Amino acid sequence: MAKEKSDLLYGTLDMLILRALQHDPRHGLGIADRIHQISQDALRVEQGSLYPALYRLEAQGWIKAEWGLSDNNRKARFYTLTGKGRKQLAAEREHWTRIAAGINRVLANA
């Protein structure tokens, strides 16, 4: 049996991070945990991918970061979705829906 893949498709990480921040601020590990939880254990985001993406999203103005204390009283950067980030999430979601529908049509008619 083939090994099950949990790799993210190119370009989806930003959308997943924005979605994880849609309702509450989270620190890096909290974002990764939220994606894992929402995906029902299907997706894992590694730190080597997560933190460069967070810095990129912050530079684009889609998220902002502030220092705070985690649940275990450690200093951590908490990320929050900005208004610009909410607009980007809506655009990413629409794009994903359109692409996924196209892929599903191809698979259904193969």
pLDDT by residue, tens only, the chain of 110 residues: 444 444 566 679 999 999 999 999 999 999 999 999 999 999 999 999 999 999 999 999 999 999 999 888 999 999 999 999 999 999 999 999 999 999 999 999 86
Helix (H) or strand (E) holding 28: helix 28-38
Residue 9 is classified by DSSP as: P
pTM of the model: 0.86
Q: How far, in Å, CA of 21 to CA of 38, rounded?
A: 12
Cα three-residue angle 89-90-92, rounded to 5 degrees? 60
The pLDDT, as a whole number, for residue 71 is 86
- Domains annotated for the chain, with CATH where assigned, are 12-108 (1.10.10.10)
How many distinct helices (H) and strands (E) make up the chain?
4, 3
Residues 6+ away with beta carbon under 8 Å from 79: 21, 25, 26, 27, 28, 31, 54, 57, 58, 63, 64, 65
Q: Which amino acid is at 102?
A: G
